[in-house]
Structure 1
Amino acid sequence: MLRPTVVLLILGLFVLLHGLNVARRQYSFQHYLRERQITANDFPAPYVTVLNDSVLHGEQPPLDFDYKSTFTKSKIPRTIHFIWYQNLYSTHNGGSQIPAAISRAPELCRQFNPDYDIKIWNATTGREFFATEYAWFLPTYDGYRYPIQRIDALKYFVLYHYGGVYMDLDIACRRPLDPLLAFPAWFPEASPLGVNNDLFAAAPGHPILKRMTQSLEAHNKNWIFPYLTIFYSTGPQFSSDILKEWYEHYKNNGLEVEGKGPDQATPSAFFILPQIYYSEQYTFFGHSPGGTWHGGDVAVVLWFVDHPWALLLVVAVLAAAAYTWRKRRQSLSRDRTLDKSNAV
């Protein structure tokens, strides 16, 4: 019979080994993401000169720069997708924080990208799109507990179907996006790990977006906390997990599908938009405070992220409690058996 202390030691060892394996895989994946980052070397020299000059003087690159002649090998269509579901959270955080009526994101994107097709999806057009093109997904789409999950799902399907650039309404264009269209797909770097899903781009029919659309059903699980449920089922962690699966599949099978730089990239490749292009320096995009899907539970989750030892302690305590409860049930069961035997 194992004592509780032995059980705790075995559990602790298991958690440690599992954690080390997860950390090893994550480290390998993060190293790969760094290798896939978009850099100035991926842009034509004339544009890099203009970009550096504008940053040096605190200005935007001139709109009269000949973007079309400079960027002739666009893989991503000149389409920008936004999504706005009215009253996204009528009882949460005071309702939707960035309604389309006041967001300047579409206006600014038109200003810097006048020849782009800008689409703003809503709950009606989103569901009609699924009913027409992907009716098999409607049970999952309608069954999502949180509205933001439906928005996330729509992001992946729309980009897979039409291609283009997807942007949350708290993100706006700060310059022409033509330099970013030469890549088959890209996702913005997240801090500290993985990628974000509030902004990404892809060519229509990109295999990774297809994998994302096909993986949503399997990831539709309840993680108790709203934040965790959204994060893992459709949110940034879902995107990061699919990219990691993609990377590990090709790594484990000794396959090479990427190629270096946009000119050598295969249609299956994806790239990472580093924070230097995604934050406030050299950036193509501006940001407003977002996170409208964050509930009160996010504070608890983030506290455990900052204090992983506490999570291990909670797991150990729960394991000890489960062990004690099981032994008590076994003891009660034996006592009942003895009582019945004595009664006979």
Structure 2
Amino acid sequence: MLIICTIIYLIFFRRRSPRVFLTAADVDKFQMQNNVNKTFYQRIPRIIHQTWKDKQVPERWNRSVESIRQLNADQFEYRLWTDADIHTFVRQEEPYLYQHTFVKYAHDIQRVDAFRYIVLHRLGGLYIDMDNGCYQSFESLLRILEAVDSDSPHLAAFPRTSPIGISNGFMISTKGHPLFKNLISRLPLFNHNYLIDYLTVMMSAGPLYLSINEFYFHQFSKQAVVRIVDEIVYSSIYTWHTPGNSWHGRDAQVVLYIYHWFRKHPLAIYFSPILPIIFIVVFILCRRRLRYRRKIS
């Protein structure tokens, strides 16, 4: 099923530039050669951003959040953004977007997702969800990113997720990265009701929104690089995970149940032909919106 979707995706929808990965081999290479040191030009601000509705972190995430704060205390500034902080920041930095899109979102998680792009564009640094803990400081990861693309003024990195997308639950960026500028400018364009709350969140500002815009982003002359962090690097070397998805409702549970059923059930092969159709329709609509945006801009 996933293979069919991927093939159709690759045939009918060309990326504007090839993906650039950061693999475990890259990490081993730079660590073994001792090339990762503080002489590299630091372009990524050493700031860790996390969000929650208030200053009281839920008990279930105490361990993961504490690992982030303790293991990165020496190299990073830590910022916990509350809902009130988020509204103040977006209202100051993006007043038009705040008035016409941000406050009109139907779900709080849409505002949180949009804020992630805005804060990383304005301040740079690293965003990580509270359900993620870390095995070691992120300093070495940032230095590796700065080392492998030493001539690029703008750097960004996202973890790869199945089957072909990327996640906005962990993002790294220099201040002012062009991809994040695109992500902010296109938020009004994607702000629609997609019939199901889960899809509305995912498509309007969530991981699907990020994945589509990254797909069309052009990495020009290495001035603005986007690296996709391999799952082994992300999930085994640097981070560990606890149960999250605090915004998921019943519709999300149904969608995810169907997805996992298709992945595992032997009868999935008989239903898989409809999935590429859905996949194509969604991307055609998104492609038309992006083309319309380019015409009027």
Q: Which category describes the TM-score, using the shorter chain as reference length?
A: 0.7 to 0.9
Residues 112-151 of structure 1, C-alpha deviations (whole Å, 9 max, x = no match): 2222100000111111101211111113111111111010
Q: TM-score, normalised by structure 1?
A: 0.65
Q: Is contact 1:149-1:230 (8 Å) kept?
A: yes
Q: Residue 244 of structure 1 aligns with which residue? A: 215
* 1:155 lines up with 2:126 in the alignment: no
Q: Is contact 2:44-2:125 (8 Å) kept?
A: yes
Which stretch has the larger CA shift, 179-188 or 112-121?
179-188
Partners of 1:78 and 1:173 lie apart in 2 by 16
Structure with the bigger percentage of strand: 2
The CA deviation at 1:294 is 1.9
* 1:172 lines up with 2:133 in the alignment: yes
* 1:144 lines up with 2:105 in the alignment: yes
The letter of the residue matching 1:133 is E
The CA deviation at 1:25 is 4.2
Q: Residue 77 of structure 2 aligns with which residue? A: 117
- For these two proteins, the number of residue pairs brought into alignment is 252
Partners of 1:40 and 1:73 lie apart in 2 by 22
Residues 77-135 of structure 1, C-alpha deviations (whole Å, 9 max, x = no match): 11100011149xxxxxxxx9x63795234432232222210000011111110121111
CA shift in 2, pair 1:123/1:101, >3 Å? farther
Picking from 33, 38, 45, the partner of 2:22 is 38
User: Highest CA radius of gyration, 1 or 2?
Assistant: 1
Partners of 1:185 and 1:304 lie apart in 2 by 32
The letter of the residue matching 2:160 is E
Q: Residue 86 of structure 2 aligns with which residue? A: 126
CA shift in 2, pair 1:200/1:71, >3 Å? farther
Picking from 226, 232, 249, the partner of 1:276 is 232
CA RMSD of aligned residues (A): 3.3
- Where in structure 1 are there 5+ consecutive unaligned residues? 1-17, 51-65, 88-95, 251-255, 259-265, 316-344
Picking from 54, 71, 78, the partner of 2:46 is 78
The CA deviation at 1:206 is 0.2
Q: Which runs of 4+ in 1 moved over 3 A?
A: 18-23, 40-46, 302-305, 307-313
CA shift in 2, pair 1:46/1:212, >3 Å? closer
Partners of 2:28 and 2:241 lie apart in 1 by 26
Picking from 185, 196, 199, the partner of 2:156 is 185
Partners of 2:169 and 2:241 lie apart in 1 by 11
Partners of 1:78 and 1:302 lie apart in 2 by 35
Partners of 2:272 and 2:30 lie apart in 1 by 53
Q: Is contact 1:86-1:99 (8 Å) kept?
A: no
Q: Is contact 1:38-1:274 (8 Å) kept?
A: yes
Task: Give the match's secondary structure for 1:127.
Answer: helix
Partners of 1:241 and 1:285 lie apart in 2 by 25
Partners of 1:74 and 1:268 lie apart in 2 by 15
Q: Residue 230 of structure 1 aligns with which residue? A: 201
Q: Is contact 1:43-1:179 (8 Å) kept?
A: no
Q: Residue 263 of structure 1 aligns with which residue? A: none
Q: TM-score, normalised by structure 2?
A: 0.74
Which stretch has the larger CA shift, 298-307 or 266-275?
298-307
Picking from 169, 178, 181, the partner of 1:210 is 181
Partners of 1:192 and 1:211 lie apart in 2 by 23
The CA deviation at 1:21 is 5.4
Report sequence identity in percent.
Answer: 29
Q: Higher relative contact order at CA 8 Å, sep ≥6: structure 1 or structure 2?
A: 2
Task: Give the match's secondary structure for 1:286.
Answer: strand
Q: Is contact 2:110-2:206 (8 Å) kept?
A: yes
The letter of the residue matching 2:188 is E
